[in-house]
Structure 1
């Protein structure tokens, strides 16, 4: 007999029901829509790894969506592990192939996904979600910013696999780190994962369509302005931890047309950051937020 707390038991936690694949397909897979297929698996290592393998092994139609009820090897940036109890969040990857957009503009896709997720969750969950450059989703729990989600984009086949993980119903004793949060702890008005997933994917379809129609022009599509408006990193002191064990401290003043974070440093220069870890600071030389 399967133990009642095993991940394979679909009803091991009645407060966290399984996703209804048929209902999600009816609501999202429409003629002319971006989303062309949607699969929900009970458990996997990483939806990004699985979908990237499908895209690399044979032609994959754009708009494929893969959702897992639980990931046992979920990854964030820098191969950090992302773990959560079964059915406590949204763990998904989508395949996008904007072949009519110059490849040098594809770097906006994770930022676009952040804007779409924040917009979709605001509507579906009634909770404010802020963006931490380049790919974190923040919520406020007891007056403190906490990470409730993350985004990971990887080239695969002729396109990009974009992974998204969002902590939905995690309780305080289930958080993977003291700096983590969840929609539940941020007092979201809805924790229904099907509602949230539909909201996020519909928002992503809208933002992606507008960005693609503008030829990937982040300014022309309104994406650059929307990202800046929702970015908690801007107008505050930060430390950028860069490749090669280097770091730069400065005030984040803008996100430029290439999606880079622009730092105003103490020597009066402006330094663009295209990759790295960003730490929010209380003061130019102060402690962590």
Structure 2
């Protein structure tokens, strides 16, 4: 439901607990000479920031470091074309364009993983919430002692030289607004701050830091520290999991490592270590 002002008209200020982002302030704080971020736009409403930025990049209308933020997404997408919906101004919904020309394409699979590190790092700093990463692209928080998904990441190639990374994070979503019982938000996890301007600045600064470190190392996950950092923050490792793979195949076992290609390595009961590069991962409770 769209908030309305006293006259009954739709108002971007209708929910005073969810003020709009300050685009001018964000640009002043993030877009600078020599920095990664070259432009930042905030739109009130769109279908998907990823779809929009992919189209702009394909048309040559934006350069590396472009950031597109939406106050509301009507057709937000996650992995496997899943829908991501949330009330206006209740979260961070944004996409960025990166062009890691110095990095071999075979290492680009680390981009969504390092984005996860950056999002978790930025939110921990600015919101004071303990966050964890579920391989390959989910952000987890703890609500009432339960592990809940509060965010996700979607990577899409653009032409031969670019990747658009989309991030969605539930910030002030209330219990009655949760799309599914397994969802959560920073507010429900006890965040000390839900100021979205502060949170977005922290996340984008962390992303710039990790991206530069990874790019300067030629995409080497070990030299850049990305592989170690991801393993340290990954809630999937050490868990018994079920990997639901393409072709209706499933692998069950303990998640023991994230290898140099960013794949999840699962040790099965048969003594086989199977690397998984794509698929749905379900965290199973130990028997």
TM tier relative to shorter chain:
over 0.9
Structure 2 equivalent of residue 281 of structure 1: 284
Q: Is the 8 A contact 1:7 1:86 kept in 2?
A: no
Q: Is the 8 A contact 2:239 2:283 kept in 1?
A: yes
Q: Is the 8 A contact 1:96 1:159 kept in 2?
A: yes
Deviations 1:221-256 (A, max 9, x none): 000000000000000100000001111101000000
CA RMSD in angstroms, aligned pairs only: 1.4
Q: Tell me, which stretches of 5 or more residues in structure 2 are unaligned?
A: none
Structure 1 equivalent of residue 171 of structure 2: 168
Runs of 4+, deviation exceeding 4 Å:
5-8
Cα distance in 1 for residues equivalent to 2:86 and 2:14:
15
Structure 1 equivalent of residue 24 of structure 2: 22
Cα distance in 1 for residues equivalent to 2:248 and 2:271:
23
Structure 1 equivalent of residue 73 of structure 2: 71
Structure 1 equivalent of residue 149 of structure 2: 147
Structure 2 equivalent of residue 258 of structure 1: 261
Deviations 1:59-93 (A, max 9, x none): 53100000000000000000000000000000000
Q: Is the 8 A contact 2:3 2:15 kept in 1?
A: no
Shift of 1:12: 1.5
Normalised TM-score (structure 1): 0.96
Deviations 1:102-137 (A, max 9, x none): 000000000000000000000000001100000000
Alignment of 1:91 with 2:93, yes or no, is: yes
Shift of 1:210: 0.2
Structure 2 equivalent of residue 31 of structure 1: 33
| CA shift in 2, pair 1:3/1:138, >3 Å | closer
| CA shift in 2, pair 1:8/1:216, >3 Å | farther
Structure 2 equivalent of residue 179 of structure 1: 182
Cα distance in 2 for residues equivalent to 1:228 and 1:99:
26
Equivalent of residue 112 in structure 1, options 93, 111, 114:
114
Equivalent of residue 55 in structure 1, options 48, 54, 57:
57
Cα distance in 1 for residues equivalent to 2:258 and 2:3:
50
Normalised TM-score (structure 2): 0.96
Shift of 1:26: 0.3
Alignment of 1:225 with 2:231, yes or no, is: no
Shift of 1:3: 7.2
Residue 28 of structure 2 aligns to a residue whose secondary structure is: helix
Q: Is the 8 A contact 2:245 2:279 kept in 1?
A: yes
Cα distance in 2 for residues equivalent to 1:24 and 1:60:
18
